[in-house]
Structure 1
Amino acid sequence: MSWIAETLIWLPAILIALTFHEYAHGRVASFLGDDTPYYQGRLTLNPFPHIDWVGFLMLLLFKFGWAKPVQVNPYNFKKTGIKQGMMLVSLAGPGMNILLAFIGMIILKWLLPYQAMEWGQMAIALLYPLIQINLILAAFNLIPVPPLDGAKILAGLLPDRGAALIYQMEQYGMLILLLLIVTGITGKILWPLANFMYGIIYTIVF
């Protein structure tokens, strides 16, 4: 299969995964009382406001990347504290990706009896990337290194002193993350975690 054909198959999955991930962040922040995502136009399923073109290109080429982060002002939260609120907002993105992968697996199971038909083959060919990309994006964002969601999730679980340390790391977060990617450490976390989640979803559905 040519790179162009493969890209056309993966593109819908990438756009859906990125868009729903960031939309979930914004929707939970809005639910907690912060209107920042609304005023910045991020409470939409239109993919273009959510795309970071470098992260998008990384997803196309290497099957993992990122979207434009949703800006959140935790001081606007009315239904929870700052630390817990940021944990919930951060959980929403990977949680949405895992949910989409789960739904995709259910649809895939329903389609398998029709895989001999042309339309069934086409639908299955689009579903596999949807499941995989969502799990890869979820796994990548669950890595507990700033600025990824996993860091804020971990901060929400730690005592205040530990959470403060996580947030202090943010100024070096991109450098640390780049170092982990270049050395291959990220891949050693990413792929086993994505495969683990795939196994759980597959076991539940099938």
Structure 2
Amino acid sequence: MQIPIGGAYEQFGMPGVAAFLFWGLAAIVLHELGHGFAAVWQGDDTPRREGRLTLNPLVHMGWLSIVFLCLVGIAWGSMPTDPSRFRWGRKGRVFVALAGPAVNLALGLLSWAVIAVMLAYHEKNGTEPSEQALWFWLRGGLLNFVLLAFNLLPLPPLDGAQALAGVSRTFWKWLHDPFALRVSFIALLVFMFSGLSSIMFEAV
């Protein structure tokens, strides 16, 4: 995904950039942990054996992803799992695939709930809330909702494709087709570098 870091700097300077990077790291790391803990609950100990049940961004993203996040606002993460170990079989694959987006949904709702509480508090006391605090939580919620929507796209290797592979054998075959993977990769590059993800931010 592409994150408009430039807009954060223009509004609040380096504190704005720091807040955006915080949310970028938090959204991706907690997303991957959602997959990891769901896989362990399904009987797959791969995430635990490989030391991936940690909050360390380097473990989930690697240096390259973090550097890209800081420089151009594009980042990614991963969580190793073994679907053959899932106790629910194909349904387990759906469960694990959707666990990551579910975490982003929860983070987004939590962020905007904080905003609602802040506004109610300041309205009751006749005061003005901090613009920086409102921006921090607003962008946190927005980033997580965008990450949620992006990952539910039915394009390999995104979570939407993984979930569909758990309910459709035809889609499962497509997921493992080299040509389909190349087409999906090109589509993802177009999405990230064409500015479409930034437009999603600006539209809210």
Q: TM-score, normalised by structure 2?
A: 0.77
Contact 1:181 1:187 in 2 (8 A): no
Deviation at 1:28, TM superposition (A): 0.3
Contact 1:9 1:125 in 2 (8 A): no
Instruction: Specify the alignment match of 1:80 in structure 2.
Output: 88
What is the letter of the counterpart of residue 93 of structure 1?
A: G
What is the letter of the counterpart of residue 80 of structure 1?
A: W
1:51 aligns to 2:58 (yes or no): no
Segments of structure 1 that go 5 or more residues without pairing to the other structure are: 199-206
After superposition, the Cα gap between the structure-2 partners of 1:185 and 1:51, relative to the gap in structure 1 and judged at 3 Å, is closer
Off by >6 Å, runs of 4+ in structure 1? 185-189, 191-196
Instruction: Specify the alignment match of 1:108 in structure 2.
Output: 115
Tell me how far apart the structure 2 counterparts of residues 109 and 9 of structure 1 sit (CA, whole Å). 19
1:130 aligns to 2:140 (yes or no): yes
Contact 1:139 1:190 in 2 (8 A): no
After superposition, the Cα gap between the structure-2 partners of 1:192 and 1:151, relative to the gap in structure 1 and judged at 3 Å, is farther
1:150 aligns to 2:160 (yes or no): yes
The superposition leaves residues 108-156 of structure 1 with CA deviations (integer Å, 9 ceiling, x where unpaired) of 1111243725xx4343232122112111211221111111111111112
Identity of aligned residues (%): 29
Counting matched residue pairs gives 189
Aligned counterpart for 1:89 among listed residues 68, 71, 96? 96
Instruction: Specify the alignment match of 2:39 in structure 1.
Output: 29
Instruction: Specify the alignment match of 1:41 in structure 2.
Output: 51
Tell me how far apart the structure 2 counterparts of residues 89 and 125 of structure 1 sit (CA, whole Å). 32
Contact 2:174 2:180 in 1 (8 A): no
Deviation at 1:20, TM superposition (A): 0.7
Instruction: Specify the alignment match of 2:6 in structure 1.
Output: none
Deviation at 1:188, TM superposition (A): 9.1
Instruction: Specify the alignment match of 1:13 in structure 2.
Output: 23
Please, what is the CA RMSD of the aligned residues? Answer: 3.0
After superposition, the Cα gap between the structure-2 partners of 1:76 and 1:193, relative to the gap in structure 1 and judged at 3 Å, is farther
1:70 aligns to 2:42 (yes or no): no
Higher relative contact order (CA 8 A, sep 6+): 2
Segments of structure 2 that go 5 or more residues without pairing to the other structure are: 1-8
Instruction: Specify the alignment match of 1:204 in structure 2.
Output: none
